[in-house]
Amino acid sequence: MERLFLALTFFTISSCELPNLIQADRYIEPEPVEVELKTEVYKDVWARIDASSSIQRDGLDEETLRYVDLYLSNPAQFSRLIEKGQYFIYFVLEELEKYRLPPELALLPYIESNYDPFSISASGAMGIWQFMPATARIYGLQDTWWYEQRHDPLVSSRAAVRYLAYLHNRFNKEITYTLSAYNGGPTLLEKQIKLNKKLGKSTNYKQLKLPRQTKDYVPKFKAIVELVINAEKYGLTLPAFPNTQVLGSISLNGQVEILAFSDFADLKPEFVYKLNAGYTKWASPPGETTIFNIPIELEDSLNMKKSEFVQANQINWVTHRVSRGDSLWKIANKFDTEVNVLKKVNYLASNTLSLNQELLIPLSNDQNQTFIPYQAHIISEGDTLWNLGIQYKISPAEIARNNGLKMGSPLRIGKELNIGNKNIHRTINSKKRTILYSVKQGDSLYRIADIFNIEIEDIKRINEIPHNEIKPGQVLKIVIKAF
């Protein structure tokens, strides 16, 4: 039954049916309206949804009742599901109000993803709204090596509400059509409505020739609305989500390591990742500013002391192990740097890379960040290339090459020698941290390895996983480079 429940709460936006934004006037995406600031009117978000819901309350059809019974068959599971919207549902309600949309649409992510920002479907839909890549591009959601906005709970919610506003406007504010179009696509829905009209048949969504998943979508949604609005009637206790802002933010200069920030904020790393799921790697993207979503009660205190954190936690370098298909151009593009900088930093004479070769990567293009890091040695009496090679565990020929010397050339006392960057690689590799990662719905070893830039085999070895099978809720030990 539990597996069935999970299956019922996991759907995707069609990858084929995309909004056609350039059509007749009635199809143009609506603009948000100005909403007056107001004091808290409702005791919680559930009362707010109840007050303005547009779903018909006069009797529940057989399909909706079936899903109501299914949810009620496991009340504890239903309660855990509702809890997952804690930090995002108020934000979604505020966005919906900007477009004068029915507030119950804030319950849609419970069907789409269990309100899990990490969620990924088998077809590649992501985030709490399960955006497919093509739809995400239309709504301007970015996808870079460092940042995937489909996972970002707030940014993706803004885009999803815009999409819902477009659909609601296109289908004359009929919510069952809005829901059907969101799941099955607006083009298919409109085609079937026109066909039924032509044949003189009813255009009720139940009578349209739609995929089974799309036909089931509306009663599943209505069932959740019914249980939320009439929780007391069904003996359910909903969590006390206030009708007030629960998320604040902090803006930090430069790139920030997620684990360092979690230490600073005294928040669990997985919680920081949940609120900021768009950051898919061990750090935020390289750039001038990093913005973190944080609980509102921490906003003032963290902002007051953020300058000391920034000074102590700047990231300048990471290492990258060359894998099949890598090139200097591809790596430079991934890390927002330049090919000539990579060649200079890593002493590369050509563009050829070797499999598993480890490169040092500067994480900024600023002038003061692109210096070549190397270990220096001031020549003293008795030094030779040979004994320096033994001392620094590097070949004498490489020291000579790094300094433009010929083998056998005399060394001038007091001159600074560039020993190279091999020891810097060792320093980076020695700075590792172990975190505990809770496996999320849709996770795979491949995805987790990609998030933390580590090898799948390392995860399997550390956690003694014989095959590639992991399951939601399983806790994995992850050893990451934290530099």
At 98-113, the pLDDT tens digits run 999 999 999 999 999 9
Q: What is the pTM of this model?
A: 0.75
477 versus 16: which is more confidently predicted? Answer: 477
324: exposed, middle or buried (Cβ count in 10 Å: 0-12, 13-18, 19+): exposed
3 pLDDT more than 50:
no
- Rounded mean pLDDT of the chain? 83
468: pLDDT confidence band, cut at 50, 70 and 90?
confident
1 pLDDT more than 90:
no
CATH class of 431-481: alpha beta
286-303 pLDDT tens trace: 778 999 999 999 999 999
How far, in Å, CA of 292 to CA of 266, rounded? 14
Quote the pLDDT of residue 446: 86
Quote the pLDDT of residue 202: 95
Instruction: Please give the backbone phi and psi of residue 153, each rounded to the nearest 5 degrees, phi first.
Output: -65, -30
State mean pLDDT over 323-329. 93
Contact criterion met (CB below 8 Å) for 391 and 409: no
2 pLDDT more than 70:
no
State mean pLDDT over 83-106. 96
DSSP string for 113-140: TTT-TT-B-TTS-BTTTTB-HHHHHHTT
Pick the CATH number of 2-229 from 1.10.260.30, 1.10.530.10, 3.50.50.60, 2.60.120.260: 1.10.530.10
Alpha helices in 13-126, H assignment, sequence order? 45-52, 62-72, 75-83, 89-98, 108-112
The percent of residues in the chain predicted with pLDDT above 70, rounded, is 84
Quote the pLDDT of residue 370: 44
Quote the pLDDT of residue 161: 98
Which of 126-140, 221-235, 360-374 shows the lowest per-residue confidence on average (mean pLDDT)?
360-374
Domain boundaries, the chain: 2-229, 247-312, 317-369, 376-420, 431-481
Look up the CATH architecture of domain 317-369. Roll (3.10)
How far, in Å, CA of 117 to CA of 114, rounded? 9
467 pLDDT more than 90:
no
231 pLDDT more than 60:
yes
Quote the pLDDT of residue 110: 97
Check for a shared fold between 2-229 and 431-481: no
117-161 pLDDT tens trace: 988 777 788 899 999 998 999 999 998 878 899 999 999 999 999
Contact criterion met (CB below 8 Å) for 380 and 413: yes
User: Which fold would CATH assign to domain 376-420?
Assistant: Membrane-bound Lytic Murein Transglycosylase D; Chain A (3.10.350)
State mean pLDDT over 168-186. 95
249-290 pLDDT tens trace: 999 988 888 888 988 999 988 899 899 999 987 788 877 899
Alpha helices in 230-298, H assignment, sequence order? 258-265, 269-275
Quote the pLDDT of residue 422: 61
* Residues pairing with 251 in the sheet: 291
